[in-house]
Amino acid sequence: MMTHAPDTGRRRLLLAGVGLLAAGLAPGAAAHALRPRGERRLTLRNLHTGETLETVYWRNGSYRESALTALNRLLRDHRTGDVFPIDPKLLDLIHRLHADLDSGAPWQVISGYRSPATNAMLRARSGGVARRSLHTEGRAIDVRLPDRPLKALRSAALALRRGGVGYYPRSGFVHVDTGRFRTW
């Protein structure tokens, strides 16, 4: 007696694509029909301004411009008020970390975007600030999750190997960015 393997999600996706092509849809239309669906939600609290934002920033395969604008504002340089576009890959990174850690708490943001002037001022005060910090490019964030140990956040970020990971236990945060993988 012959048994068949259960239909996997991957197999269903492939069969759906073949069906669309057989139905006469152009390859571009088939690719569009197979785009990932669902949503990505973030909840962040800026510890310096007290602002909180809960938003769906990605839905049905596309970033939502209005949500990105709101996130850019929340993650602005709190010293100067300068707003800068945050790298959507950074948002995807913290979304993934939140899910991997199964956290129910909002992100607590210590630092998002930093203007070059703020970065220079901080660098003059401390040796721990990079001259060409990815914060000045909207590609770095310093965060913590109040319902998860800082070491767990660091470990989860290291496991992803998606960018830089800095561990600051004395200051109570982890730095993650979308640059090359490195640790400190």
Segment holding 165, helix H or strand E: strand 164-168
The whole-number mean pLDDT for each consecutive block of 10 residues of the chain, a chain of 184 residues, reads 43 44 44 66 98 98 98 98 98 98 98 96 86 95 98 98 97 97 96
Segment holding 144, helix H or strand E: strand 140-144
Kindly state the tokens that stand for 18.
């073949």
Q: What is the pLDDT of residue 13?
A: 42
pLDDT in tens, 122-152: 989 987 788 889 999 999 999 999 999 999 9
Q: What is the pLDDT of residue 32?
A: 41
Q: Supply the CATH classification number for the domain 39-183.
A: 3.30.1380
- State the number of CA atoms in the 13 A half-sphere of 6 facing the CB: 2
Q: Where are the domains of the chain?
A: 1-34, 39-183
What is this structure's pTM? 0.80
Q: What is the pLDDT of residue 36?
A: 64
Helices 88-100 & 65-74 angle (0-180, nearest 10)? 80
Integer Cα distance of 51 and 171 in angstroms? 21
Q: What is the pLDDT of residue 37?
A: 77
- CB-CB contact of 93 with 178 (8 Å): yes
